[in-house]
Amino acid sequence: MDLTVPTKDLRPAIIAAADAVPRKTNVLPALTMVRIDAREDGVITIQGTDLELSILAEVRGTVTKAGEVCVPAQQLAEIAKETDDENTRIHVMKKGVAVVAGRSRFQLASMPATDYVGAVPAPEDVSMTVPADVLCTLASRVGGIAARDSSRGTLCGVLIESTGAALRMVATNEHQLALSEATLPDLPPATQRVVPPHLLAAAVKHLKDRGPVRVSFGGSSLSLQVASLTIRGQTVAGDYPKYADALPKMPTVVAHLPTAALLPAVRRIATVATARELKAIICRIESDTVRLWTRTPDLGSALDTINATVQGGPLTIACNVSMLVDTLARVSAEEVRVRFHGASSGILVDGRGDDPIRSLWMLMPLELEGLDLSEPEALAPPQRQRKAA
């Protein structure tokens, strides 16, 4: 095999395929490789897999000799990142593979393409077309919230649901829940699949700004495909919980706050609150303000006050400050609405504005019992010194 490809095209293809390859050292040697296939017509495919996720990228170049080979994924990706010459040549030698870019020459170990472990099979049962920016926004707003304990079954995955009128993604870990949906035409009715979070993370990283994405569901796999890149993954077996039943109804207090004021204030409180195991932030909601504070025995306290439009109250409630920061950081609207349902029921957060992608987040409060709820004293403003007569 002997091929030459423009480096600007080869680099993202190699990096994308290598992202699917496990970085662990105690895996089969074949799982540390990407497979390169070069056809006589100039089409070159590069694919990597960890058996649950596979990424296949396609580029065009000059193929002097067609063929296929497996090359160490991470080393090839690092070479691609550091190479800035116009073209990169890859050719198979008697021992190993040579990678040549300008004056740089690398010789890497290789394996026969027949030793490649194979990719996730392509699904074809149900398909739809979704704008890449919509798909990536949905995925980023629920990403990182799914449970990480493998014993939690489908809670370790993200639900992708088509209602016929909207595409929805849902993730929860029982302490947080995220729901995001977009209205789209020509969606299949009543379709649900649970997918691993790292598949959607790969989509956010590699599909953004690439154009329409063909989303295909099979019996146990999902495929996301654009013109030159395909991401496939195994779905998570089992039924997803009825998440709508977990969302509380009939709020007792509703607060509207500017996102630009609330998020920085919570982050300031977090500098002190994260020193404790519970990472508790106390919120006191009153007629026109929301006061936030925390106390830690070792570091001291933090207090902040934000003007707000409030219906109902007053209410004192506590939650995990890291989860609150994570939730508020996902809100893109200028104003955030927070709905409270008493001190022990879920807190609902959503943005208020013209965002076409509707999103809702829920986080569970902390038990107030055992927390120091006393509000720190506010420091008096500094007094101006009188000028000497």
Of the ranges 113-127, 147-161, 211-225, 292-306, which one carries the lowest mean pLDDT score? 113-127
Which pLDDT tens digit goes with each residue over 336-352? 999 999 999 999 999 87
User: What confidence score (pLDDT) does residue 26 get?
Assistant: 76
Q: What is the mean pLDDT of residues 8-35?
A: 90
Fold of 126-244: DNA Polymerase III; Chain A, domain 2 (3.10.150)
Measured N-to-C along each axis, helices 321-328 and 259-273 cross at an angle, to the nearest 10 degrees, of 150
Which pLDDT tens digit goes with each residue over 229-280? 999 999 999 999 999 999 999 999 999 999 999 999 999 999 988 766 668 9
Fold of 2-115: DNA Polymerase III; Chain A, domain 2 (3.10.150)
Domain borders along the chain are 2-115, 126-244, 247-363
- The rounded distance, in Å, linking the Cα atoms of 386 and 381 is 15
The two structure tokens encoding residue 40 = 């006589």
Q: What share of the chain is helix, strand, coil (3-state, %, to 5)?
A: 20, 40, 40
Cis peptide before 12 (omega within 30 of 0): no
- The rounded distance, in Å, linking the Cα atoms of 69 and 47 is 11
Q: Give the DSSP letter string of 115-170.
A: G----PPPP-SEEEEE-HHHHHHHHHHHTT-S---GGGGGGGSEEEEE-SSEEEEE
The superfamily CATH assigns to domain 247-363 is: DNA Polymerase III, subunit A, domain 2 (3.10.150.10)
Rounded to a whole number of angstroms, the distance between the first and last alpha carbons of the chain is 91
